[in-house]
Structure 1
Amino acid sequence: MPKNNNVMVVAGQAGSKSTFIGGLYRHAHRADDINVTYRKKEGNVEEDFYDGVIKRMNTRGVYPDQTTEGYVVELTLSQGSSLVPDIDFQFVDIPGEQIDIVLSNIWDEVKNDAIDESRVESEFRSVRSKIGGDEALDIGDWETIFKHYYSQASMILFLVNFHKMTIRDEEPTFDSDVLEAVSGQKVKTALVPTAVDLLDYDPSDPDMKSKASFSPRTYDRGLDAHLDDKLRLGDAPKVQNLLDHVEQNERIAFFSTAVPPADPTNPKSDKLARDNDGGFVTKGFDEVVTWLRD
């Protein structure tokens, strides 16, 4: 590890992973200098990804559905030029609460750099034929699938929803030891808080951001300061631990995204804020693309 320029998005059930990937797709589709395509790798891509994420967000203007069967899709961002390499996202969406179990089971191997890639590839060849079939995948199958794509990635985006962690007291599915291990394995690493609009932060507003020009990494100091001010971090030690670690580790980038709701005062509504192009509002995804290209 790593073997190529693949990107993997890592998040637990509370990480807003589907919303992030739908927001990135919308941002890239709207951009003048980016072409975005996707292709099925394995599983229930048509229903879980296209109908459950892309159509719901772009056509119906609502947040994604819950994943039912699970799938793997590759999202490719390109500029149509051989001078600018394509960016390939390996998006592994494991259904329901299984994702949290899968991640907790593999972190020791990740932290010890102990994934047996030869064994994983052998197991993956037999497991992949089951995805989307009549036979349900178990936790061990999903661990094999996840480790297969993880082992191929050279860039990892860790998503975390601090709003859920603080307001709803939900647990993160990774800790600072995982971030330290991944960033130390010569893998380009970023911690990306999602849904920061719910914490009154706008990642697209230059007045709310303060990038350190002397830093060799992307690090949103405005976001760091805002979270310190907005959250009662003494009551959220796991959030504080992640923030402290990322601030001290120069190998980890730190920026945020948001896909705002139409009515922030109504938590029961699943409607997205609409833009002026017939789609929905996305914030901070230009930073994602910039980080990937740097």
Structure 2
Amino acid sequence: MTAVSDSLVIARRNLIRMGRIPEMLVFGLIQPIMFVVLFTYVFGGSIQVGSSNSTQAYREFLMAGIFAQTVTFATAGAGAGIADDMHKGLIDRFRSLPMARGAVLTGRTLADLVQTALTLVVLAVVALIVGWRTHENLGKVLAGFGLLLLLGYAFSWIGALIGLTVRTPEAATSGGLIWLFPLTFISNAFVDANQMPAFLRHIAEWNPFSATVQASRELFGNLPPGFRAPDAWPMQHPVLASLIWSTVIILLFRTLAVRKYRRAAG
């Protein structure tokens, strides 16, 4: 209970800091909104999914990918924030307090989760404006957003590890983004994985990012007419695969990040 209390205190500290710097939220929204506009109105008429070539079908197919990309790109912010705290010596001040060692990282990732949730709400409103619609009940839609947030929380622990490993916030930002581009684009986020070359298709099918995207599409009811999911197990059972991937990432990278934090603060 002490560790939980300490984590909530650190989370509150980070949320207050975020509230005083609204540019962080605004700039975090610009990129996903640009992706929505570009892929919907520039590429939407040229990309076919399933048996339909309508812009509306691709618009609904696309949005789960944009949502997932948005929550994973928050990794860079998490890493930069922790690297900044390390660089300014704030972590040394936390060390002098009688608090759980893992609370600093847990509090930071929880604050990032709240920010990601707010970003998703705004992005969902923008998606509705450009024509995105869901075709399932409210429970399934909320479950889809829950899987997206779980993936974002899992990736924030990867960002935490990167932030503890590099020396400057700038390096954390670069290190947090460079590997995300191949991860998100070699997936089913923007195109049907069935249309990829064989070696890329297998990577996309077993990509944890793809599992969450596919699960969200099913829960939102955004699978286009005639769409056939790949035969790979994660694509046939995307909800379960998404839960497994996110849980494994959290357990693995939280362990590594807390161990790195203790070593860095020792």
TM-score (norm 1): 0.24
Taking CA–CA contacts closer than 8 Å with sequence separation of 6 or more, which of the two structures ends up with the larger relative contact order? 2
Higher strand residue share = 1
Q: TM-score, normalised by structure 2?
A: 0.26
